[in-house]
Chains A and B, each alone.
Chain A
């Protein structure tokens, strides 16, 4: 299950290639939602299963409303998460408040689970700086530059090791990010310094219009861990329990000086952002195929079949989630807007002479 350099020992020919590796995708829930016989065992309690399910539904409801709001002009460009709820929720749920996440712009559900209030995200999409006040929640500011957060997570993990903290830093990114230079530099540093860091890659098959097989010649992303002397694992990203269990185990390893790269295999059901039209570059057939493997449907099937959940609870949950989102939007509207004087004051701790002059030219204040 765990990929590392030792997989390459034994009867290997001179030339090293991918064919030296046999890589499985770990899961907990089978297609028919029975528990699998594989090595990832379920440790989540019933309560935890329900909680994770609720988080996933909350994420999806939020996503649907946000999309509508963007079309109504209430918020700016929005990157939908539909289809990736299990990967984000399962991983974030395994963290404690001591742990840090370094998210990209699409890791919204993960951020919610780790404590980000929904109104903060609305603020961010409205261009209000208050949306980035997340540091007290151990959430690093949302990263827009693909891959830069890998290094920040490495630095963060290094800091917690330096200070002797019981903490892990998790960098969230997609498959596209694994092509950036910073990804490789980050994994290399993590391996050299044995840092308590987890690289959580959601392989949602698409980087805007670039499919995974054109993103890398590697058969899997998980195997890239070997090149840097760290550990990798490939999990079924639409199986929230698999993601949860794998992340839990990965965190233990990371805290013991064994950084981990997790590849969660999932699918981006919607467009890259609200400014994108995926019908231009991918087949509807592929989308249809993946819709039969919807993460929320799978978990629902499991908790219903085990008697943990019923339709009444489902209805209540949907209503509750929608109310929460709408309330959060209303709250976000009341938050102060970003202004030029605010930005002038927040570029340095103390305004230097040039900014003081520019402030004065505006008429002070």
Chain B
């Protein structure tokens, strides 16, 4: 059998309409004799038989349109048919063979790093996504890889030592000298307690709406790649409240025996680091939006954790917030960041039953602990101040006013 497929007879022809057959089924046809007339978009064209043979099947009736490459006419070869060298007319594309192997690939996260650094990470067996980048825009540098490698080895060493200690009981005391940041904190804490008379007021507030509010912000499309915690809300609430309760935004001048009220509001945020407590500062927090505070906080925290924070970053607060986080205590008695007159501790947000107009509903509560210098502030103003802060945290819509 020989299948004569419709060739591309006109430079990029796609299909043709059968105008008229010169032959019919069963008829014997000689090579180069008229076979069929087809209509292309350019002209009416006569096609002749490519071989000598008997017509077995016509690819379509008069009036049908057939596409290039589909069957035009089928022949059965007779004894005097010359075997054609090709069964496909020219213009047929050869099917490209696709590569058979499947390749292994991994989907990588969005870490910025030069190709040479990525290669080094692979060679060192480090998952580059775990490395904190200290370069511009958080880019991972070669030095970061080296630091990461050292840390991992020191962690291993620590674990190793711990297990060792259990085995061989140590009789002597372990002596750890107080130096560096530890010493600075040591001194400051001493001062705060020795000079000021500290007292702590505590309060539990209903933050159900705050939880919802934060969640809805986090779900905004523009927040897709960012994370907003509760801290920016606390900072904004405190900074705004301090505008009405200026005596909390102050320090005591021991020599002058005066309460010095700061003309600006700089909120310090106590951060625990491996070396000790540091307090990066959001300056003019009352003038910044929650979003701006969040971004600045993020960048400050990164700086602190990568040990790139400057003196300017870590000093100048007028009021401090100390969050014990979701794994911390429910109440606390934070020590003021001397010479500031007050500090606000925020604690974990808990999901629990709440009484709302004689019904029990599930909501979220949070506790606040406000330590203050009783030499200059009494209890009632503390309640009022905490109430002010709570006003925002309980009804976050107030942030908009």
Write the residues of chain A forming the contact surface with B, with a CB cutoff of 8 angstroms: 65, 68, 70-77, 126-127, 271, 273-277, 279-280, 333
Distance of A326 from chain B, by nearest CB (Å) = 9
Interface size on B, residues (CB 8 A): 20
In whole angstroms, what is the CA distance A133 to B53 when docked? 36
A277: B residues at CB distance < 8 A: 42-43
* Residue B391, interface by CB 8 Å: no
Query: A72, B11: Cβ atoms under 8 Å?
Result: no
Q: A65-B32, A275-B10, A275-B11 are in contact. Are A72 and B43 (CB under 8 A)?
A: no
One of B46, B48, B91 near A76 (C-beta < 8 A) = B91
- How many residue pairs link A and B with beta carbons under 8 A? The number is 48
In whole angstroms, what is the CA distance A279 to B22 when docked? 23
In whole angstroms, what is the CA distance A70 to B46 when docked? 11
Distance of B8 from chain A, by nearest CB (Å) = 7
A75: B residues at CB distance < 8 A: 90
B85: A residues at CB distance < 8 A: 333
* Residue B185, interface by CB 8 Å: no
Query: A274, B50: Cβ atoms under 8 Å?
Result: no
B63: A residues at CB distance < 8 A: none
B 31-51 contacts with A by CB, 8 A: 32, 42-43, 45-50
B42: A residues at CB distance < 8 A: 275-277
* Residue B328, interface by CB 8 Å: no
In whole angstroms, what is the CA distance A308 to B50 when docked? 37
Query: B45, A71: Cβ atoms under 8 Å?
Result: yes
Query: B43, A279: Cβ atoms under 8 Å?
Result: yes
- Most B CB within 10 A of own CB, among A70, A71, A275, A279: A71
Query: B91, A72: Cβ atoms under 8 Å?
Result: no
Q: List 26 A-B contacts (CB under 8 A).
A: A68-B48, A70-B9, A71-B46, A71-B47, A71-B48, A72-B4, A72-B48, A72-B50, A72-B89, A73-B8, A73-B50, A73-B90, A74-B89, A74-B90, A75-B90, A77-B11, A126-B90, A127-B90, A273-B11, A274-B9, A274-B10, A275-B10, A276-B42, A276-B43, A277-B42, A279-B43
In whole angstroms, what is the CA distance A280 to B90 when docked? 27
Known: A76-B90, A279-B43. 14 other contacts (CB 8 A): A72-B49, A72-B50, A72-B89, A73-B7, A73-B50, A73-B90, A73-B91, A74-B50, A74-B89, A75-B90, A126-B90, A274-B10, A275-B11, A277-B42
List the B residue with the shortest CB-CB distance to A70.
B9
Query: From DSSP, what is the main secondary structure of chain B's interface residues?
Result: loop
In whole angstroms, what is the CA distance A275 to B43 when docked? 8
- Most B CB within 10 A of own CB, among A70, A75, A126, A127: A70
Query: B43, A71: Cβ atoms under 8 Å?
Result: no
In whole angstroms, what is the CA distance A77 to B4 when docked? 19
List the A residue with the shortest CB-CB distance to B91.
A73
In whole angstroms, what is the CA distance A317 to B83 when docked? 27
List the B residue with the shortest CB-CB distance to A71.
B47
Q: How would residues 81 to 121 of chain B score, 1 for a CB under 8 Å from any chain A CB and 0 otherwise?
A: 00001000111000000000000000000000000000000
A276: B residues at CB distance < 8 A: 42-43
In whole angstroms, what is the CA distance A71 to B46 when docked? 7
Distance of A282 from chain B, by nearest CB (Å) = 13
Distance of A68 from chain B, by nearest CB (Å) = 4
In whole angstroms, what is the CA distance A279 to B45 when docked? 12
Query: A71, B9: Cβ atoms under 8 Å?
Result: yes
B9: A residues at CB distance < 8 A: 70-71, 73, 274
Query: B32, A68: Cβ atoms under 8 Å?
Result: yes
A127: B residues at CB distance < 8 A: 90
List the A residue with the shortest CB-CB distance to B42.
A277
List the B residue with the shortest CB-CB distance to A77.
B11
A333: B residues at CB distance < 8 A: 85
Give 8 nearest A-B pairs by CB, closest first.
A73-B89, A73-B7, A277-B43, A275-B11, A72-B50, A71-B47, A68-B48, A275-B10
In whole angstroms, what is the CA distance A68 to B49 when docked? 9
In whole angstroms, what is the CA distance A251 to B390 when docked? 110
List the A residue with the shortest CB-CB distance to B11.
A275
Distance of B31 from chain A, by nearest CB (Å) = 9
List the A residue with the shortest CB-CB distance to B82.
A330
A73: B residues at CB distance < 8 A: 5, 7-9, 50, 89-91
- Most A CB within 10 A of own CB, among B9, B49, B89: B9
Distance of B379 from chain A, by nearest CB (Å) = 82
A68: B residues at CB distance < 8 A: 32, 48
In whole angstroms, what is the CA distance A216 to B10 when docked? 29
Distance of B283 from chain A, by nearest CB (Å) = 59
List the B residue with the shortest CB-CB distance to A329.
B85
B 49-98 contacts with A by CB, 8 A: 49-50, 85, 89-91
Q: How would residues 1 to 26 of chain B score, 1 for a CB under 8 Å from any chain A CB and 0 otherwise?
A: 00011011111000000000000000
A77: B residues at CB distance < 8 A: 11
Query: A72, B7: Cβ atoms under 8 Å?
Result: yes
In whole angstroms, what is the CA distance A277 to B46 when docked? 13
- Most B CB within 10 A of own CB, among A72, A280, A333: A72
In whole angstroms, what is the CA distance A333 to B207 when docked? 87
In whole angstroms, what is the CA distance A333 to B83 when docked? 12
List the A residue with the shortest CB-CB distance to B85.
A333
Distance of A6 from chain B, by nearest CB (Å) = 48
In whole angstroms, what is the CA distance A202 to B9 when docked? 27
